[in-house]
Structure 1
Amino acid sequence: MEDRDKEKIYSKRVRAGKRTYFFDVKATRGNDYYLILTESRRNLQGEGYTYEKQKMFLYKEDFAKFVEALQETIDHVKTVLMPDVDFTQFEQREEASDELNAGLKWE
């Protein structure tokens, strides 16, 4: 492939209200892989929408440290800062939304 450094190998989209998160795996010319995390926010402007995007590049040598820090941070919020919040309610809402979207056909 001519422009291999821009080839998307894998992509996962997570919709979250006005935000959408993209987890994209891309390859370098040397067959190395990296992850691009993108937050896309939809903003109403005039009669249409604009999209503001923020990107973060994550390289393989940082995967474990990133996941560990993310999990520690989430656990801290859940157990120390918001111990009375039932976070399973958000999972149930997401499952219901996924089931609804599964029945829709996108053109």
Structure 2
Amino acid sequence: MAYENNNQQERNNDSIFSKRLKAGKRRTYFFDVKTTRGNDYFLTITESKKRFNDNGYDRHKVFLYKEDFNKFLNALTETINYVKTELMPDFDFDAYNHDYVQEDQDDAEGADVAEAPVTVSVEAAAPTSHSADDVDKW
């Protein structure tokens, strides 16, 4: 689910764009774009895990600021590519792509996708270093 909040008065640290990613039965990731009082933007990444012993959730949050977007994306891509190419070259990561595609199709049809598990896959490639210009093209 993604949404935009165009009400300027509600922007005081409220999400102006949000994407939810269900990852299994107990985990959900939230990617939220938020604004500061000075009309600058930052990203929060929240992991929410359902507890076994009660109906509560454990939440962990990462704040990512615009000046770190490219470095963060480079490090994440390099790390995932290392796992895919060096540690698990025979594993079929593409076997999990069907859930992500299904969410996009359901969203287009206006269906509720809250219960559909989703896994994001980063394409495997030989580990390379990317310049900031390469990341900006993404």
Which band: TM-score by shorter chain?
A: 0.7 to 0.9
TM-score under structure 1 length normalisation: 0.83
Q: CA deviation at 1:7?
A: 2.2
Q: CA deviation at 1:6?
A: 1.5
Matched, 1:37 2:35: no
Q: Distance in 1 between matches of 2:19 and 2:9?
A: 24
5+ residue gaps, structure 2, are 1-7, 115-138
Q: Find the residue that maps to 1:37 and give its secondary structure.
A: strand
Q: Over aligned residues, Cα RMSD in angstroms?
A: 2.3
Aligned length: 103
Tell me which residue corresponds to 2:13.
6
Q: CA deviation at 1:103?
A: 4.4
- Residue type of the partner of 1:10? F
Tell me which residue corresponds to 2:70.
64
**Percent sequence identity over aligned pairs:** 49
5+ residue gaps, structure 1, are none
Q: Where is the strand percentage greater, Structure 1 or Structure 2? A: 1
Bigger RCO of structures 1 and 2 (CA < 8 A, at least 6 apart): 2
